[in-house]
Amino acid sequence: MAGTRLDPIDRRILAELQADGRMTNVELAKRVGISAPPCLRRVRALEEQGYIRGYHADIDARELGFEVQVFAMVGLQSQAEADLSAFEARCRAWPLVRECHMLNGEVDFILKCVAPDLSTFQRFLTEELTAAENVGSVKTSLVIRGAKDEPGVPFEILEARLERPA
């Protein structure tokens, strides 16, 4: 299991930073029970090893006027690797697309999109997404409200699995 490569202190550091990425190194060290210099070395190592991909603020899109959130299920005409990669690159270039995930099953990709209003999203849908090369079908679902939006992973599940005897 991937999480077993980390010791309990590293996992605790990740859990604490996931909950509050703005805390100082001194506060983080106190929370995980080590002194500040080794804590900073561990954080740097976790960054270099790719466990920590970056830091960002959790922005409220609606407060900034992005009132529309839509999930778009996209079916491609071809699933050849070159075509999948080309579609992913196109998604990375579209500002309204905030997440893009390739799926197995009936739908090839699901996109999470945000827009300031419905007409902006409709323009994107008709002029860019459905018009894009290799796009065969698009089904959209407008988000009415969100009940949960948790970043990261559930560390309590990982810890419980690691505590079980092998």
Per-residue model confidence as pLDDT tens digits over 97-107? 999 999 999 99
In the prediction, which pLDDT does 1 show?
44
Q: Is the pLDDT of residue 42 over 70?
A: yes
Rounded to the nearest 5 degrees, what angle is found at the Cα of 104, between the Cα atoms of 103 and 107? Answer: 70
Q: Is the pLDDT of residue 27 over 60?
A: yes
Residue at token pair 């999470």: 112
> Do 33 and 84 reside in the same domain of the chain?
no
The range of the structural domain enclosing residue 22 comes to 2-57
Share of the chain above pLDDT 90, in %: 88
> Do 82 and 105 reside in the same domain of the chain?
yes
149 in a structural domain = no
Answer for the pair 98, 130: CB distance below 8 angstroms, yes or no.
no
> Do 67 and 32 reside in the same domain of the chain?
no
In the prediction, which pLDDT does 164 show?
82
Cα-flanking dihedrals φ and ψ of residue 102, to 5°? -85, 135
Segment 102-107 long-range contacts (CB within 8 Å, at least 24 positions apart): 106/75, 107/73, 107/74, 107/75, 107/139
pLDDT, mean of residues 90-118: 97
> Do 53 and 70 reside in the same domain of the chain?
no
> Do 14 and 29 reside in the same domain of the chain?
yes
* Total domains, the chain: 2
> Do 101 and 81 reside in the same domain of the chain?
yes
90 in a structural domain = yes
> Do 53 and 68 reside in the same domain of the chain?
no
**What's the Cα-to-Cα distance from 117 to each of 36, 74, 108, 165, rounded to whole Å?**
47, 21, 26, 53
158 in a structural domain = no
